[in-house]
């Protein structure tokens, strides 16, 4: 067999043979050179392990029992509200309840009537105090308006100067800028936070 017929047979093999990408094939690239396609990384599929039917049934039964237990637990706690720890009385206070309870003082009807009269008298006093303050402020405002009207009739310039705001009444001093642009190099510290709250199942 000549060299040419040998190469031709290899060429026919590469053409007529399987052409799948995962099978190595031999092709003729040049008359005197051979080239092989690269091997692809692959492995045969793993066979499914045959498991005993009893094991599968036991696993399914165990999973079913677990779900039923969880459902019963949820049904049991459906009407149970989540407790508020802030509103719960500490146990030590409940144990010392008798020592902490103060005896009720018996109040005579005369003391009750005296207390009511005193509260009414105090309410009357505070009402009169408030009305006096309101009347004083109204009287001062009316006097100020009458003075401004008289000043306006005399001189318009003096009236405009009188109604100007006086900055000395509310002194305010500022030094430097009160708002600065953010610094991109500043790293904000993260505070440590430990969540100790209880977890309650709904």
Closest C-alpha among 4, 9, 43, 5 to residue 26: 9
pLDDT for res 16: 43
pLDDT for res 23: 47
CA atoms within 13 A on the CB side of 107: 9
Alpha carbon of 90 to those of 6, 93, 96: distances in Å?
99, 5, 10
pLDDT for res 137: 96
pLDDT for res 15: 44
pLDDT for res 85: 77
Predicted structure pTM score: 0.35
pLDDT for res 44: 73
Q: Which residues of the chain have pLDDT under 50?
A: 13-24, 28-29
Q: Rounded distance, CA 196 to CA 191, Å?
A: 16
pLDDT for res 175: 77
């Amino acid at each position: 067999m000549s060299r040419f017929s040998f190469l031709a047979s290899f060429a026919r093999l590469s053409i007529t043979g399987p052409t799948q990408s995962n099978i190595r094939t031999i092709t003729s690239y040049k008359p005197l050179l051979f080239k092989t396609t690269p091997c692809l990384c692959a492995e045969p599929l793993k066979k499914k392990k045959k498991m005993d039917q009893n094991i599968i049934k036991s696993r399914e039964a165990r999973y079913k029992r677990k779900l039923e237990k969880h459902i019963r637990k949820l049904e049991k706690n459906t009407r149970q509200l989540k407790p508020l720890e802030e509103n719960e009385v500490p146990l030590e206070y409940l144990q010392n309840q008798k020592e902490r309870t103060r005896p009720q003082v018996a109040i005579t009807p005369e003391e009750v009537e005296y207390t009511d009269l005193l509260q009414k008298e105090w309410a009357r006093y505070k009402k009169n105090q408030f009305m006096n303050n309101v009347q004083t402020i109204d009287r001062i405002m009316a006097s100020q308006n009458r003075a401004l009207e008289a000043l306006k009739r005399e001189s318009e310039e003096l009236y405009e100067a009188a109604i100007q705001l006086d900055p000395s009444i509310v002194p305010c001093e500022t030094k430097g800028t009160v708002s600065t642009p953010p610094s991109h190099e500043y790293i904000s510290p993260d505070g440590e936070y430990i969540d100790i709250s209880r977890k309650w199942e709904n």
